Copies of this chain bind each other. A is one copy, B any other.
Amino acid sequence: MNSLNTEEKKDLEMRLKRIEGQVRGIQKMIEEDKYCVDILTQVSAVRGALKKVGLIILDKHIHGCVQRAIRNDEGDAMIDELMEVLTRFTE
């Protein structure tokens, strides 16, 4: 169970489909002996797109699951878990 509605899922799936295509594009660039700097620019673009995906899910998670847990007096454990995931996300 997560905090994403149908529209949000569709948006995220489109973003991830595009990211998947970009990752395949990077493989092709390597195969076709493209210039390192152009490959690196693409790698940075995909990392940026993945960060955006992460921030969207984070937003929905806090507005949804975390908020719900706090209302049910189970907030503290949920926030500890959130902080762990945030620590990894900012690495």
Binding site for B on A (CB under 8 A): 1-4, 9, 12-13, 16-17, 19-20, 23-24, 26-27, 30-31, 33-37, 39-41, 43-44, 46-48, 50-51, 53-55, 57-67, 70-71, 75-76, 79, 81-83, 85-91
Contacts and interface: CB of A to CB of B under 8 A. Distances in A.
A63 B66 CA distance: 11
A40 to B, nearest CB: 5
- Count of identical protomers in the assembly: 4
B88 A91 contact: no
A82 B30 contact: no
B88 A41 contact: yes
A57 B39 contact: yes
Contacts of A86: 55, 58, 86
